[in-house]
Amino acid sequence: MQRSWKRWAWIGFAIVAVVFVFFSYQTAQSPAKSAQEQAVAIAKKKAGLKTKTGFYWYNRDQTYFTVAGTNQKNTPVYVLIHKKNGAINVYKQSAGISRNDALTKVWNHQNPKKVLNINFGLYKNRPVWQVAYVKKNGSLNYDTIDFKTGETTQLIQNL
């Protein structure tokens, strides 16, 4: 009898823990999901975005949300939205290097252990890809790559 009670107590505790972890995760994801939904709505309304194919959240000196997709003319574009003032810039994807090109450049030149993320934003008023990665020595690194030229504009290493 005693043993059965302990077993059910552990099962109950495990269920409560799983439910707690699930709701904590959902709560933590809520701001990101909300920001993405708002950015997509703005991109559709103000920039004529028809379909969404990607979303990027860039944090540097300023915060930008970028929605990748196609416009009403079926042209692939990036709609960059400044978080604070709502300013919008639209870039044709064909006007610069792709996400995959930026990643390939980092893999070929920096030889990272792992790429953490890639985001599209503005750095010194230029559209850029920012790639965060970990090197084999465990250090955190950032490679900021100019969207239009494909050149590295800033390299931050060994953080």
What pLDDT sits at residue 64? 96
Report yes or no: 52 and 67 within 8 Å, Cβ to Cβ: yes
Helix, strand or coil for residue 87? Answer: coil
What pLDDT sits at residue 3? 67
Nearest to 120 by CA among 156, 159, 77, 157: 77
Report yes or no: 85 and 138 within 8 Å, Cβ to Cβ: no
Give the chain's length. 159
Give, rounded to a whole angstrom, the gap between the first and last alpha carbons of the chain. 57
Structure tokens at 81: 């939205």
Query: How far apart are alpha carbons 25 and 124 in whole angstroms?
Result: 35
Q: Residues 10-36: pLDDT tens digits?
A: 777 777 777 666 655 555 555 556 788
pLDDT of 116 > 60? The answer is yes
Query: How far apart are alpha carbons 6 and 115 in whole angstroms?
Result: 45
Q: For the chain, which residues make up each domain, given as ranges?
A: 29-93, 99-156
What pLDDT sits at residue 132? 97
Mean pLDDT for the stretch of residues 33-43: 87
What CATH topology corresponds to 29-93?
A: Nuclear Transport Factor 2; Chain: A, (3.10.450)
What CATH topology corresponds to 99-156?
A: Nuclear Transport Factor 2; Chain: A, (3.10.450)
